Amino acid sequence: MAEQRQCEHQHGHGHGESRLAQWRHRAGHLLKPHSHESADKVDRALESSVKGMRALWTSLAVLGVTAAAQAVVVVLSGSVALLGDTVHNAADALTALPLGVAFVLGRRAATRRFTYGYGRAEDLAGIVIVLTIAGSAVFAAWTAVDRLLNPQDIRYLPAVAAAAVIGFIGNEWVARYRIRVGREIGSAALVADGLHARTDGFTSLAVLLGADGAALGWRLADPIVGLAITAAILLVLRDAFREVFRRIMDAVDPALVDSAERALHDVPGVRQVSELRMRWIGHRLRAEVAIVVDGELNVRDAHQVAVDAEHALLHAVPKLTAALVHADPAPAPGAPDPHLVLAHHGS
């Protein structure tokens, strides 16, 4: 039987579905309504991008106010540690810019050159954010070492302590918000940006502890705590790098693959799942699947099995917006597996 290929199907496929298949399809929508129309998929993508942009601009405003308040205290107190914290907050706010550009690019339609669209721009933004975290770690270390070698007295210690608390609260709120939204829409770059905000919160705590130490007469308290916070920033950098690296390398959660396989095996007519690949494009998932069906099925029936398989995937896998299902006929008794034949000739 000739190969059957099922591309991203649309509703109203009208290939002579049986009444039983139609009723099964409608019942499935009543239990878990969804749509496979291209316009609906674009709307979901736009909704995710809108959430991401809202998170970026909200956090930009919060961190901007935080950095401005700290800058006033820096001028009054001459605190180098607070100056470093202020620079971190400003840098964290500015990371909204590459992510904002990535989200805007992600809304653009696919072209004949960029056939998958521009969702990968988020991965590039993630790289920029990781580099920003690394730069923050270097700056924090340099500031701490400089203060260790050249201790300075801090003026207006209560104001410095208050500014440190404001910095920590602002950064932790932004971190929680970005991480929550990033995981909700599946944006690794936004999650990494949230982790970056959390590092700046740690830096604010270092300023607070250093101010407390200075109040007790220990001038080296601030730089020593600053070095400890630099180590904490490096740990967060490791986590952010790992997440962005996995996304660039098309890694997905194995639990998503397990869910997809279970859903496909439950589809009537699917004898075997011979290949299953999934990848993130921005914060949306795509899947490519090869299934084995009865070799005696005609073209129309094999197509219907592929359609049902796509439906099952879209129901079972969160954030999956498109699936390409390829149907292979089961080999006749004694005949070689076509996939093994192709592999042999390819080698």
> Does 239 share its domain with 314?
no
Asked if residues 67 and 93 have their Cβ atoms less than 8 Å apart, the reply is yes
Instruction: Determine the average pLDDT of the residues in 274-298.
Output: 91
Q: Which letter, b or e, does each residue of 304-329 get, where b requires 16 or more Cβ atoms within 10 Å of its Cβ? A: bbbbbbbbbbbebbeebbbbbbbbbb
Domain boundary among 226, 248, 270: 248
| Residues 6+ positions from 113 with CB-CB distance below 8 Å | none
> How much is the pLDDT for 290?
95
CB-based contact 194:184 (threshold 8 Å): no
pTM over 0.85: no
Same domain for 235 and 106 = yes
pLDDT score recorded for residue 205: 79
Boundary of a domain, candidates 200, 222, 248: 248
Q: What pLDDT, on the 0 to 100 scale, is given for residue 29?
A: 36
Say whether both 26 and 167 belong to one domain.
no
Residue 334 binned pLDDT confidence (cut-offs 50, 70, 90):
low
**Least confident window among 97-111, 132-146, 220-234, 319-333:** 220-234
> Is 225 in the same domain as 326?
no
Convert the pLDDT of each residue in 10-59 to its tens digit: 344 444 444 444 434 433 333 333 333 333 333 344 456 678 788 888 88
Average pLDDT estimate for 210-239? 77
Instruction: Clarify whether residues 150 and 73 are in a common domain.
Output: yes
Confidence of residue 339 (pLDDT cuts 50, 70, 90): low
Domain's final residue, options 194, 228, 248: 248
Q: Which residue has the tokens 């396989």?
A: 261
pLDDT of 188 higher than 80: no
Q: Are residues 187 and 257 in the same domain?
A: no
Q: The domain that contains 283 carries what CATH number?
A: 3.30.70.1350
Instruction: Using CA atoms of 206, 209, 212, 218 in order, give the dihedral in degrees to the nearest 10.
Output: -80
Two tokens at 29?
């929508």
Q: What are the CA-CA distances from residue 73 to residues 5, 142, 267, 269, 345 (Å)?
A: 65, 21, 64, 70, 72
Total domains, the chain? 2
- 62 and 138: one domain? yes
Task: Please report the sign of the dihedral spanned by the C-alpha atoms of residue 7, residue 11, residue 13, residue 19.
Answer: positive
CATH code of the domain in which 127 resides:
1.20.1510.10
78-96: string of b/e by CB count within 10 Å (b at 16+)?
A: ebbbbbbbbbbbbbbbebb
pLDDT attached to residue 146: 82
Range of the domain at 11: 4-33+252-346
**What is the rounded average pLDDT of the residues 319-337?**
81
**158 shares a domain with 295:** no
Q: What is the mean pLDDT of the chain?
A: 77
What pLDDT is attached to residue 25?
40
Do 166 and 123 lie in a common domain? yes
* Same domain assignment for residues 67 and 176: yes
Query: Same domain, yes or no, for 209 and 99?
Result: yes
Identify which has the larger pLDDT, 303 or 148: 303
Q: Could you tell me what percent of the chain has a pLDDT over 90?
A: 23
Say yes or no: 65 and 213 in one domain: yes
Structure tokens at 23: 């009723």
Distance CA 24, CA 30 (A): 10
